[in-house]
Amino acid sequence: MQVLASRLVTFVLSVTLVVGVLLNAPSVRTTPYDATTAGTPVMRVAVIGDSYTNGTAIGGQGPNAWPVLAWKTLARRGMQVNADVAAEGRAGYGVRGDQGNLFVDLTPRAVKPDDSVVVFYGSRNDQGVDPNALNGQVFSSLSLARNIAPTARLLVIGPPWPTADVPPAVLQIRDILSFQSMLAGATFIDPIAERWFVDR
């Protein structure tokens, strides 16, 4: 249980740091440690993800889910976030989730024209999807987000893996997401290279 708590803390702090950097635009006059006040600007964030985002017993549920913890951490640092989250267990860019949706289907549910940041998280669920098809599906999801929120910064977080022995299929997903992120002008974060969940 202590290992799982440590992994969740590492994950939340990593995501919070990246989202905080993307939100900390020059027009925002807060420091990383200011408390939010009535005059603190509210920044809109959209999150599209799988079960890690939707909530699981391992990753946290309700008030212990990573998006909620990340927004609370940002608020303590002077960044007020209004977030819309569209996540579905077992979903991915190329694999339909429990409710039959792909990330491209979830994108318009969360993304708004005035979003500051759009976060895509995952997905290891895309194992087995043809790489050419996956490239197209990732491109479609990121393009749709860009079309809905043209001034938003895009953050793509690759698939996580809990051990150092990462299956080749997950590495291939990671590489596709990295490539498509570069094409879209998005910031790409690699939880595998960062070892978010390994030996924590």
Q: What are phi and psi of 67, to 5 degrees?
A: -60, -40
> Which of 63, 64, 57, 51 is CA-nearest to residue 92?
51
Radius of gyration of the chain measured on its C-alpha atoms:
16
> Which of 59, 48, 148, 142 is CA-nearest to residue 92?
48
Q: What is the pTM of this model?
A: 0.82
**pLDDT of the chain, 200 residues: tens digit per residue:** 444 444 544 455 556 656 665 555 433 322 333 344 556 678 999 999 998 888 776 567 788 888 888 888 888 888 888 999 999 999 999 999 999 999 999 999 999 999 999 999 989 999 999 999 999 999 999 999 999 999 999 999 999 888 889 999 999 999 999 999 999 999 999 999 988 877 76
The torsion defined by the Cα of 32, 110, 68 and 29, in degrees rounded to 10, comes to 20
